[in-house]
Amino acid sequence: MIFDLDIIRELISALFLFMGSFLCISGGVGILRFPDFYTRMHAVGVTDTLAAAMILIGLMLQNPDGLVVIKLSLILLMTLFINPTASHALAKAAFHNGLMPLIEKNKKNNSLPDKKQESEKG
Amino acid sequence: MIMGLFNDWVVVVLMMIGLYIIIAHGNLIKKIVGLTIFQTSVFIFYISMAKIDGGTAPILVDGVTQYSNPLPHVLILTAIVVGIATTAVALALIVRIKEAYGTIEEEEIQEQDSQHKDSHKLNIHNSSEINRDKKEC
Amino acid sequence: MLIAATLAVLVVMLLAIIRTVIGPTLYDRILAVNMFGTKTILLLSLLGFVMGRPEFLDIAIVYALINFISVIAVLRYSDSFEFGSKTGEKTAENRIPQSGERLELGNKEAE
Amino acid sequence: MKRGELIESLINIVLLSLLVGIAIAIVCMKDLFAVVMLAGIYGLISASFFVVMDAVDVAFTEASVGAGISTLLMLVVITMTGRTEHPTRHKPLLAIFVVVVTGGLLIYGTFDMPYLGAIDAPIHTHVAPRYINESMQEVGVPNIVTAVLASYRAFDTFGEVVVIFTAGIGVLALLSVVRRRDEDSVIDSINDSMHEQHLILRIVSKMMIPFIMLFALYVQFHGDYGPGGGFQAGVIFASAIILYVLLFGLSTARKVINQTLIQLIAAFGVLFYGCVGLVSLLNGGNFFDYNVLSSDPIAGQHLGILLIEWGVGCTVASVMIIIFFNFAGRKEFQQRNGNLIDNISKKNKGI
Amino acid sequence: MLVHLPVLQVIVPLMAAPLCLILKRVQLVWLFTLLVSGIAFLISVLLLQQVMSSGTIIYELGGWEAPWGIEYRIDKLNAFLLLIITGISTVVLFAAQTSIEKEISQDKHTVFYVLYLLSLTGMLGIVATGDAFNVFVFLEISSLSAYALIALGKDRRALWAAYQYLIMGTIGATFILIGIGLMYQMTGTLNMEDLSQRLPEVAQTRTVFTAYAFVIVGICLKLAMFPLHLWLPNAYAYAPSIVTAFFAATATKVAIYLLIRFTFSVFGLSFSFTTLPLQIIFMALGMLGIFVASTTAIYQTNVKHLFAYSSIAQIGYMIVGFSISSVAGLTATLLHLFNHALMKSALFLALGAVMYRIGSVQLSQFQGLGRQMPLTMAAIVIGGLSLIGVPLTVGFVSKWYLLMALIENGWWPLAVLVLLGSLLAIVYVWRIVEMAYFKPSLATHANVKEAPISFLIPIWILVFANIYFGIDTRLGVQVAQAASESLFAVSVSDITIIEDSL
């Protein structure tokens, strides 16, 4: 019975880790491929926290004993607090300082570097 | 052999890059970044040598007999502190140089100095002096 | 699975570094560094498990804190760069990265 | 076991390659802001590398120092000095010559080195075995690094504390500004921007600050059993204060933290560390011989390590605060005297 | 308490530094610093006595025996060095309060003394320790405080000089760190004594060769040996006068000490002078240094610059003596180390007095000062004579020993070159004399008076020391000879060990 529980735990943990890794990579691709700051921010801000949470939960399941789980949940808690705050502050600062999002009408004057980069990547 | 000495070779490459930045670049802050890279390469060298196959971090736990060598770790802890101390003093100097010369490019500073070389007047830069000037203004 | 996750994190770290290098705006770099910090936290947590000594998570906690502080510091001081106003910002942002960009892209390819 | 080692060496190679890549990128970048950001990442990766190499204490320090404090200081400095590097590059030939000679010499030297992880390397057979095998009996601390750092080589650590103290005094000598009372109101207006813009940030940070301080205390006391110790705790504590400064402005922070007091604490930390040595001197032992501090040698060692870690923590925290306050204060001073300094630099350029 | 003297030597100034910060009152801090430096001097006298009578003192810090803990190992060589450093420091401090009043803004006086003490601590620590890594730590203490002290200079070029020194100094220190790391990797120990016993086993490896090269290059950067000297002139010229007087007399001496310690004690004579063509390299660089630096000194318009270049030339003499690698040569180096400390501190203190009175040390400003500041100028002249090596001054003694050592090896041409180098010194000293005594006074200096008494006392103490040790050569020669003989004895025993193992 205990043996079975261990296998199930391992399986769930692996599932969480897999999802976390997938989210990680999608965020990474997003930050590289998206055309302007705000879309990149979107890619990272959304996936980053969730990916971190997934992986950390996966790790907790790996080793469910005292101190390690506490520390992991501490990290999780902090990630949950800090990441959205940082993203929020960053987006706000960027907007406040006049970085315009890339929308059709100001594509011409704002996104020169991005477009060039896109074409170079080709 | 390639695996056995890989770390050492990376250390050498990092050291060369750091040294190159220090010597070839004229920007004072860039030089400090180069210095950091240079010092970090030495840290990596020490830490790599402490590693032992099948060993683990030198914090005693039951059932483990093979630990990495703790002595280089101790030395590098000290060296890191020395590194940050040097960086802090260097950055403070840079701030003052910027105030006194108006630039942080090596060439421009030397140019200014060579122009001033024969002047007998001191180039006073102390903060208290600035304060005094301000009062006079 | 642990190992796969570790490798995934490493790959994402590489992507984040590339974004830091190519910019182009200040905020892209900050974003990439922030993301890099999060990934480092994950990497450290994972490494503990991979290497069989998971009790060293303190380092990951410190990273989380430091990461937060450096993002705030960057935001705090990003106001001080020479593009405080709306108009100035745009020109500064578009001008500065462009000059260095060709080099950096070449560098990325070298990697 | 075999597979684990393979993975370790794979991660090792990847991290080192990343380091080289970042270093090359730093050479090529002209935007100093990007350079500083990359330097921060460089610190983070090297710290991860230290974890792979089993050096958890070093990783801890590198995380808080290399990626945290030094990046922060560089950031403050580039706001004062401008963020682009001029594209002039002089004497690259000399540089390449020096670099190639030193690099070549080192490569030449590597060929007789023991390989990575070799069990029979001299360093694993000569001095270190005693630390690993005997420290539990002789010092009684599970973290061998702490045992070596605080007991076997306590004098080195004393030197380290003095180095950081020297840096604090040096920065004080270079950057300290004589302030007048009436200047505070002007400063407030400069500092306000952060207040109004980022309400959420402020609230979250306010929640974080006590937690960070608590964590610093945990690191301070847990240093005997896990990675950490006085130095790391000091840096973490200082970073909590720095966070406060960043959010609420320097003048508010000055009201909370008395500058003179901080300097006294820095001095006190060094003195305290030294006094532990002097006490053991008076008790008939050698300098830093903790065995004589208590009737039981192990208890004496524990006491000695505890006390000196406190000395280290005090000095490091206050010196970090001194350094940051002086940098930030200098920036503020420049902003106030902005016109004046512009004039000076114009004058210099004109001459 | 006598047992603890080695550690007290370093700890007393070290603990005094933070205490200064607490004392706050500038006058008090100065007196306290003076007192502490005096105590350190007394300790070093006692130590020298002990060492001369009963041999090497070993002090285990923390009670851990040597290769595991750090040990202080005081033999004749470092006892001699400790005496020089603390002695000069104490004498120079007499003038400190007056001098910095004009050169450093009021709010930084306390900080100045703290840094001064830290710098002193660093140097003493380097000299006293028997642990290779501990050398690095204390090297950084002394260097960091040196950077800050130099940057306190009034001229803005002081900042740039300090920055350049910082870069060079840090590269040097990091090179030493790499060298120590390589040595550690091959032997597994950091203790110098232990290293010297374990290095011969691996002496043939390329790694040890590299380690040796890195340590030597690192030390030479700190030493400002000829091709690596570029940081020194500006650093000395723009630092506050007291700082210059202190560093010119001690900082490079400490580096020379390290060079001797590593080549003779750690690596051993046979290794040092056979694996690398060190003798020829050092001989050539030393000679080149003497000539290039002396010639450059002649063309300087700033007197501090002039004497800074002269310092580089004098380092050249020490290097030449060192490269002879005989007892006589090493004795000459050690003697010159002592003597040069005496003359340069006297000269730079006198310059400090000039700086105090007329606010500049440009050569053109020296016109007619011989009449207005007779005592100060007389001190400069006597110091200059000593620099040239005129009989009855200390400079003569060390040059004499150097010539003897060269002749003993049959290197006549080199002896002639050394004499020629001294002729160059006559030229640059003469330029000052001419300016001070044979030109009319400047109108702007009409009411320049003799330097204050707080300057004259230390200057003349040093000048009298210059003359006294030039006539009564026993103390210096005895100690230097004993020290170099003991170093060679150790190295020779090394050779026998190698021969046995072969």
Confidence of residue D83 (pLDDT cuts 50, 70, 90): confident
Which of 2.40.240.10, 1.20.120.1200, 3.40.50.450, 3.60.20.10 would CATH assign to domain D1-86?
A: 1.20.120.1200
Give the chain D residue nearest A80 (alpha carbons).
D204
User: Is the Cβ of D207 closer than 8 Å to some Cβ of chain A?
Assistant: yes
pLDDT tens, residue by residue, E397-423: 888 888 988 888 888 888 888 888 888
Q: How far apart are CA D231 and CA D71, in angstroms?
A: 18
User: Is the Cβ of D199 closer than 8 Å to some Cβ of chain E?
Assistant: no
Asked if residue E369 has pLDDT above 70, the reply is yes
What are the sequence ranges of the domains in chain B?
2-52+67-116+123-136
Inspect the structure and tell me whether chains E and A have 3 or more CB pairs less than 8 Å apart. Answer: no
Confidence of residue B126 (pLDDT cuts 50, 70, 90): very low
pLDDT at D341: 55
pLDDT at D137: 85
Confidence of residue B130 (pLDDT cuts 50, 70, 90): very low
Query: Based on the structure, what is the number of domains in chain A?
Result: 1
Q: Tokens in use for B36?
A: 């950091």
Per the model's pLDDT, the better-predicted residue between C93 and D166 turns out to be D166
Binary contact (A81, D204; C-beta < 8 A): yes
Please enumerate residues of A whose Cβ is less than 8 A from a Cβ of D.
81-82, 85, 88-89, 92-93, 96
Residues near D35 by Cβ (< 8 Å), separated by ≥ 6?
B29, B30, B33, D26, D29, D85
Q: How far is D172 from chain C (nearest CA, A)?
A: 22
pLDDT at A115: 41
Residues near E448 by Cβ (< 8 Å), separated by ≥ 6?
E357, E358, E369, E372, E373
User: Is the Cβ of A11 closer than 8 Å to some Cβ of chain C?
Assistant: no
Write b or e for each residue in C24-47: b if 16 or more Cβ atoms lie within 10 A of its Cβ, otherwise e: bbbbbbbbbbbbbbbbbbbbbbbb
Question: What mean pLDDT, rounded, does chain E reach?
Answer: 87
* Tokens 């110790």, located at residue: D229
pLDDT at C79: 66
Asked if residue D338 has pLDDT above 70, the reply is no
3-state SS track over E312-373: HHHHHHHHHHHHHCCHHHHHHHHHHHHHHHHHHHHHHHHHHHHHHHHCCCEHHHHCCHHHHC
Three-class secondary structure of residue C66 per DSSP: helix
Q: How far is B34 from chain D (nearest CA, A)?
A: 8
Per the model's pLDDT, the better-predicted residue between D204 and E167 turns out to be E167
Nearest to D231 by CA among D348, D315, D292: D315
User: Is the Cβ of D228 closer than 8 Å to some Cβ of chain C?
Assistant: yes
Would you say residue C42 lies in a domain? yes
Give the chain B residue nearest D134 (alpha carbons).
B60
Q: How far apart are CA C16 and CA C27, in angstroms?
A: 13
Binary contact (D31, C50; C-beta < 8 A): no
Asked if residue E138 has pLDDT above 90, the reply is yes
Region D135-155: mean pLDDT is 88
Per the model's pLDDT, the better-predicted residue between B2 and B47 turns out to be B47
Region D45-55: mean pLDDT is 89
Q: How far is A2 from chain C (nearest CA, A)?
A: 22
Helix (H) or strand (E) holding E479, with range, is helix E474-501
How many contacts, defined by CB atoms under 8 Å, are there between D and E? 172
CB E136 within 8 A of CB E127: no
Write b or e for each residue in D69-106: b if 16 or more Cβ atoms lie within 10 A of its Cβ, otherwise e: bbbbbbbbbbbbbbbbbbeeeeeeeebeebbeebbebb
pLDDT at E53: 87
CB C85 within 8 A of CB A98: yes
- Range B2-52+67-116+123-136: architecture per CATH: Orthogonal Bundle (1.10)
Asked if residue E308 has pLDDT above 80, the reply is yes
Q: How far apart are CA E431 and CA B47, in angstroms?
A: 55
Asked if residue B137 has pLDDT above 70, the reply is no
pLDDT tens, residue by residue, E235-281: 998 999 999 999 988 988 999 999 999 988 888 877 777 777 778 88
Q: How far apart are CA D228 and CA B43, in angstroms?
A: 18
In terms of C-beta distances under 8 Å and separation of at least 24 residues, what long-range contacts does E24-28 make, across chains too? E24/E110, E26/E97, E26/E106, E26/E109, E26/E110, E27/E97
Asked if residue E502 has pLDDT above 50, the reply is no
Using omega within 30 degrees of 0 as the cis cutoff, is the peptide bond preceding A113 cis?
no
Confidence of residue B14 (pLDDT cuts 50, 70, 90): very high
What are the sequence ranges of the domains in chain E?
278-502
pLDDT tens, residue by residue, D252-309: 788 888 888 899 999 999 999 999 888 888 888 888 888 888 888 888 888 889 999 9
pLDDT tens, residue by residue, E419-471: 888 888 898 888 888 888 888 887 777 777 888 888 889 999 999 988 888 88
Q: How far apart are CA E146 and CA E163, in angstroms?
A: 11
Would you say residue C89 lies in a domain? yes
- Low-confidence winner among E28-37, E250-259, E278-287 (lowest mean pLDDT): E278-287
Confidence of residue B40 (pLDDT cuts 50, 70, 90): very high
Region D176-193: mean pLDDT is 58
Half-sphere exposure of A104 (CA within 13 A, CB side): 0
pLDDT tens, residue by residue, E62-90: 888 878 889 998 988 889 999 999 999 99
pLDDT tens, residue by residue, A25-50: 998 888 888 888 888 888 888 888 88
Q: How far is D198 from chain E (nearest CA, A)?
A: 38
User: Is the Cβ of C51 closer than 8 Å to some Cβ of chain B?
Assistant: yes
Residue E25, CA distances (Å) to B122, D171, E22, E439 in order: 29, 20, 9, 44
pLDDT at B38: 93
Per the model's pLDDT, the better-predicted residue between E478 and E502 turns out to be E478
What are the sequence ranges of the domains in chain D?
1-86, 142-338
Residue A26, CA distances (Å) to A19, A48, C16, C18 in order: 10, 9, 12, 15
Asked if residue A104 has pLDDT above 90, the reply is no
Asked if residue C87 has pLDDT above 80, the reply is no
ipTM: 0.90
Confidence of residue D233 (pLDDT cuts 50, 70, 90): very high
Q: What is the pTM of this model?
A: 0.90
Would you say residue C14 lies in a domain? no
pLDDT at B16: 92
Query: What angle in degrees, to the nearest 10, is found between the helix axes of E374-388 and E327-358?
Result: 160
CB E335 within 8 A of CB E480: yes
